Amino acid sequence: MSLFKASVLILAATQLFAFSIWYGVALIIAYYFAGLLDQFAARWLRTAVINRVAEGEIDGWQTDPTDSDWEVKGNMTRLKLPATDQLLFGRIIGFMRQTELAKISTE
């Protein structure tokens, strides 16, 4: 709900229940700051998820001791990328992080 609509409803309710207008103003201010906190938490959570997924794909993989063409992480294995493809993958992940963070900051 927009701040204007919420303000109208809060002020109408304060008059309906015969509260002071200052209670209504205090509720509007609290509503505004709660909305800011909610937006900040959503942005932080999206950024944390993006970073966790990217780091999970890049970090923690070890070369398989039995076959050097494969990488192992816990009970998962994957084919090892050549050095040029690893560099390209790292750049793509960095680009994705930057574009997603730029998108988050403009919302």
The model's pLDDT over 7-25, given as tens digits with 9 standing for 90+, comes to 999 999 999 999 999 999 9
Instruction: Round to whole Å and give the CA distance between 29 and 6.
Output: 11
3-state secondary structure of 97: helix
What is the per-residue pLDDT for 63? 86
**What angle, 0 to 180 degrees and rounded to 10, lies between the N-to-C axes of helices 3-16 and 21-58?**
140
Dihedral over alpha carbons 98, 100, 106, 107 (to 10 degrees): -160
Contact 93, 85 (CB under 8 A): no
Residue 59 has pLDDT above 90, yes or no: no
This prediction's pTM: 0.57
Residue 39 has pLDDT above 70, yes or no: yes
